[in-house]
Structure 1
Amino acid sequence: MTSQCHQNLTYFSININDPQSLDTILNLPYETINDDVERIGRLPNNDTIALKGGNDIKRNDGITGTINFEWRFDKMNLTMVVSRIE
């Protein structure tokens, strides 16, 4: 993925059941943030979603995506909100 192709991405949620996909995501450079830090993202329907803690990944255009992982049944759920953090 390149930042030029996904500049309008603000929210993303997916179930991951393929170990290779999870390895690819976990190999991205990231910064772990404290559990008391909350990021607010905007959903496509203009509602907001809050994520506490997680891992920040930074695109080359300065936009930060915060990723949270949680197990749901036998799959890993990845939720990402995108925000501009100065």
Structure 2
Amino acid sequence: MDMTVVNEAQKLTKLLDDLRLLESQFNSQLNKYAMDTSENDLKERQRNSVLESLTSSIASKKEEVKTQSQVVQNLIAKI
């Protein structure tokens, strides 16, 4: 098998692992915030900031996965 395909597939696997980790962190933060019932505007803004940052990271990683998946598919099609 072409090593380029293997290398690109490994990159895709790493991106998918990174995405799973980000989604796990996001879910963990949601659960943490759900348990904290205190009301505080500063805390709420911090929560929103963390969740927005994670959401942005997840969206970015999904785009990377999509692009890398296309690279792998194109390489496989050439074989």
- Answer yes or no: same fold by TM over 0.5: no
Bin the TM-score by the shorter chain: under 0.3
Structure 1 length-normalised TM: 0.24
Work out which of the two has the higher radius of gyration on C-alpha atoms and give 1 or 2. Answer: 2
Q: From the two aligned structures, give the one with the greater helix fraction.
A: 2
Q: From the two aligned structures, give the one with the greater strand fraction.
A: 1
Q: Could you say which structure has the greater relative contact order, defined with CA pairs below 8 angstroms and 6 or more residues apart? A: 2
